[in-house]
Structure 1
Amino acid sequence: MGEVPPEVVEEMQELATAVPGLKTRYKLLDKIGEGTFSSVYKAEDLTGSVIKSFSRHFWDSGNRQERRYVALKRIYVTSSPNRIYNELNLLYMLCGSTRVAPLCDALRHHDQVIAVLPWYRHEEFRNFYRDLPIKGIKKYLSELLQALSFVHSKGIIHRDIKPTNFLYNPQFGRGVLVDFGLAEMESDSKSETRHGKEMRTSENYCPCKGEQSSQGQTQVYPGNHPHHKGKQTSAMPSAAHSIVDLTKGYPKHETRRNKRANRAGTRGFRAPEVLMKCSNQSTKIDIWSVGVILLSFLARRFPMFQSLDDTDSLLELCCVFGTKKMRKCASLHGLGFDVSGLEGISEDGYKGGLAEFIQQLLHGEVEAGTFPSYSIAFETYEFLVNRSTGESIAPSVEFQVAYNYSQHDLKKYHDEVWSDHYWCLEVLDQCLTLDPHKRSTADELLSSTFFNELVDSDCTEENDDEDDVLIIEN
């Protein structure tokens, strides 16, 4: 651990003094995170009570000292009481899975609220997403989907699935879902168990459509709105860079009542139904976010989408899926959708689908020489080239030399990798389905052929929480 900055030391001392009993139970060590509504500190459990009660949630790294560390989440007083209660209550409900960070302890003094969770040694997503091989991606997704399977089984929508909220250790092959600050219970009307899977066959079904029979047309035209000048979308090819000057998609004198819906989430990871203000959002919005993470892995690009508002976010999706599919998606939610005069946006998007989109992004990096010759990204690129041309591509000699494979072993490895890519793209398509009613659930994705080799080893979720004991002190 490096030297802690003086301002952080002062901040931790202030916190320890502000909450009676805190410094007798926890020793603050460092500040490890900060968000809009909270700060997170690494601390030592001085009494060992948290470790004892929640031992199965702490990863065994072989370092006994690390098992004494916890994370203290200081929730800012600017958070509403309902928001604080909601997060703590949901964390308490979710203590039965080792892939979800449990609420181990909680302290409150006046307006100071602190949640105590396990500390996990993990790697920053930016440090490994460009180098993780396909089997590593498979393990990452398996861990994330198992966490979501458990969360969704409790009727909870996380709403903020993104790499920083899924702490993953590539060395251990373990991950844990954190930060339920935006999470909410899924209402009965949203639950697929109530509507049944037959709703997936309905071309124009969404309960939000019946709430307002006429929402009018959302129109997007080229303009000179100052907010959009000079901005480029990170994942869009150069042909789409003309999409920078846009007016907001609302008539100047609108008299109809605006659509209201929960739009909470992180830009770039929000599902189409969130962007279109669907009031019937479900756990499927989390699955879309999983798809965006997978897209970043395969294209070796992060962030994938980063527009600043809903209009631009919809345009980014138009670049990939085309206006025809986006109009159909809008119609599902009782909306019109019209995009006019924007270069780089076509009716059909990428005709080869997401696979062609990824191939074009990788091709740009290959041409620019940004990947080293031994980069694992070439496996994905060669598979996609072969997929689009139908030609057979032999394993690269450079890869054989770099990893000391025999010709037989290399051929076997090559076949496995290409098979994994085939099924991985199927999972990607199932995640990034515009219609939420046809989008797969976490359980359905885990039953995909892509995860078959992991089923016997680790796809069984634990639900034994008999020895998880929570003590909340006031």
Structure 2
Amino acid sequence: MSDVPSEVVEEMRELCESVPGLEERYKLIDKIGEGTFSSVYKAEDRNGTTTSGFSNHYWNKDQKYVALKRIYVTSSPQRIYNELNLLYMLCGCTRVAPLCDAMRFQDQVVAVLPWYPHEEFRNFYRDLPIKGVKKYMFEMLQALSFVHSKGIMHRDIKPTNFLYNPQLGRGVLVDFGLAEMEQSRRVESNGGKDLRTLEHYCPCTPGDSRQMRADQQALRGATTAPKSGQNNFVDLSQGFPKHETRRNKRANRAGTRGFRAPEVLLKCSNQNTKIDIWSVGVILLSFLSRRFPMFQSLDDTDSLLELCCVFGWKKMKKCAALHGLGFEVSGLDRISEDGFKGGISEFVYTLLQAEIDAGTFPAYSVAFDTFDYLRHSYSGMGIAPTLPEANIDGAKLAKLKKYHEESWSDHYWCFHLLEQCFMLDPHKRGTANELLSTPFFDELLDSDRTENEDEDEDEDLNEEESEDDNEVARIVDSDGGAYD
């Protein structure tokens, strides 16, 4: 521990003193992370019982390291219980970090999870080729598919919460401190009561939107007040009656700046797992543009303006109206009605062009593959790659052609995936399972099925061996030789 800063050594010593029995079971090695609600330490499992019990979650079967997450006492008991309970519920997927152990003494709570030998996102996001990006996104969406199948929203998807090893091509989702169970908040007819007074009402609620729009049109054209018992839907963007007592618009605002979905920024109370998919899109956008962080505004208003720069104020106004809100932008440079007319792909092309003009990419950068694909698309040249014509033998030319064809195909479907993540209407945004079923992941799904089949065969074989062992034990027991 000679390389560990003295203040970290003191922290680890204080933690061991605060939780009796901790030092006997785990040897703290170093501090590996710190957040708003917790600190994380790398430790060695002294007797190996924790790591052996969750061996299928470890990328290196021989290692005995764990991550000790010290949850600060400033966290509410309900929040701590919620995180630990969700971790316990999510132990069935190797792409989600499981809760291996937990220790508590008075107000000190320590959660024990596997330690994963991962690489920092900043160290590889500019160099990962399209095949590597595909594998990263595949691992992340597989994790989210499992989490969402349990009805859980992670609510803080970002690179630091998805630990990835580029050499192994494996990733794991961590940190469920802000996660929540998804709740359906469909608002039914309320006997003539103004639905705006309901705390969790949002006009984007599935099933109500179509009726709301019809009622809005009817009310705008009506010359008399609606009859008693009629659904009193009113366009919130048109303002409120003069003497109305209204509730504040309340909604969860979890997440990290730059990764929050539009419905979170607009304080929609009907949030669901689609907010995680938007965050996935932000990460994919960083990969394709080779820029991180992508969005950096300090508050929600500026964050909405950033989205206006990309998508245009017209689409953002329509998005706000979906949640019953008005949205006006005027007098601001670089914010147009339509944003980038070529959509998100033109935005990526513009960012790459700026980097190339500044000379920030080395000549061998994989960013040129993306830029060449987009350049061909926007120049009217089509998406067929340009290949050298001479001084290359047939075998090398065939390999080069295959490489370009696969790269062009991967980029085409990758941008298709990106567009699905960035649908402003969350109801139109793809789910994790829908995104995994796109052609972008076909080759990985085939190999994943093969691996799962092999694992199933191994499990069947282990079960047969276990049954044989049980049969031997039964026979020995019946003979009275072993258990007298």
- Under TM normalisation by the shorter chain, which class is it? 0.7 to 0.9
| 1:433 matched to 2:429 | no
- The letter for the 2-side match of 1:352 is G
Aligned to 1:229: none
| 1:273 matched to 2:263 | yes
CA offsets 1:90-130 (integer angstroms, 9 cap, x no match): 00000000000000000000000000000000000000000
Taking structure 2 as the reference length, what is the TM-score of the superposition?
Answer: 0.81
- The letter for the 1-side match of 2:54 is F
Q: Partners in 2 of 1:120 and 1:186 — Cα distance?
A: 28
Q: Tell me the CA shift for residue 47 of structure 1.
A: 1.2
* Structure 1 residues 148-187: aligned runs within 5 Å: 148-187=144-183
Q: Partners in 2 of 1:161 and 1:18 — Cα distance?
A: 31
Contact 1:204–1:332 (CA under 8 A) maintained in structure 2: no
Q: Partners in 2 of 1:205 and 1:364 — Cα distance?
A: 44
Q: Tell me the CA shift for residue 390 of structure 1.
A: 2.1
| 1:142 matched to 2:142 | no
Aligned to 1:29: 29
Aligned to 1:195: none
Q: 1:453 to 1:75 in 2, by over 3 A?
A: same
Aligned to 1:329: 319
How well do the aligned residues superpose, as a CA RMSD in angstroms?
A: 2.9
Larger Rg: 2
| 1:114 matched to 2:110 | yes
Aligned to 2:78: 82
Q: 1:114 to 1:217 in 2, by over 3 A?
A: farther
Question: Secondary structure at the residue paired with 2:30?
Answer: strand
Q: Tell me the CA shift for residue 60 of structure 1.
A: 2.0
- The letter for the 2-side match of 1:177 is L
- The letter for the 2-side match of 1:12 is M
Contact 1:32–1:40 (CA under 8 A) maintained in structure 2: yes
Aligned to 1:68: 64
Q: 1:103 to 1:316 in 2, by over 3 A?
A: same
Question: Secondary structure at the residue paired with 1:336?
Answer: coil
Aligned to 1:282: 272
Aligned to 2:304: 314
Aligned to 1:231: none
Query: Which of 286, 292, 304 is residue 294 of structure 2 equivalent to?
Result: 304
Query: Which of 378, 383, 390 is residue 388 of structure 1 equivalent to?
Result: 378
For structure 1, which runs of at least 5 residues remain unmatched after alignment? 191-197, 219-253, 468-474
Aligned to 1:127: 123
Contact 2:19–2:104 (CA under 8 A) maintained in structure 1: yes
- The letter for the 2-side match of 1:85 is Y
CA offsets 1:246-274 (integer angstroms, 9 cap, x no match): xxxxxxxx985321000011000000000
Contact 1:287–1:431 (CA under 8 A) maintained in structure 2: yes
Query: Which of 104, 107, 110 is residue 100 of structure 2 equivalent to?
Result: 104
Identity of matched residues, %? 70
Q: Partners in 2 of 1:27 and 1:60 — Cα distance?
A: 19
Tell me how many residue pairs correspond in the alignment. Answer: 414
For structure 2, which runs of at least 5 residues remain unmatched after alignment? 187-204, 217-230, 463-484
CA offsets 1:181-204 (integer angstroms, 9 cap, x no match): 0000001337xxxxxxx9599679
Contact 1:212–1:334 (CA under 8 A) maintained in structure 2: no
CA offsets 1:355-400 (integer angstroms, 9 cap, x no match): 0000000000111111011100000000001111121575577xx9
Question: Secondary structure at the residue paired with 2:435?
Answer: helix
Q: 1:430 to 1:394 in 2, by over 3 A?
A: closer
Question: Secondary structure at the residue paired with 2:29?
Answer: strand
Aligned to 1:247: none
**Structure with larger RCO (C-alpha < 8 A, sep 6+):** 1
Question: Secondary structure at the residue paired with 2:327?
Answer: strand
Question: Secondary structure at the residue paired with 1:44?
Answer: strand
- The letter for the 2-side match of 1:454 is L
- The letter for the 1-side match of 2:6 is P
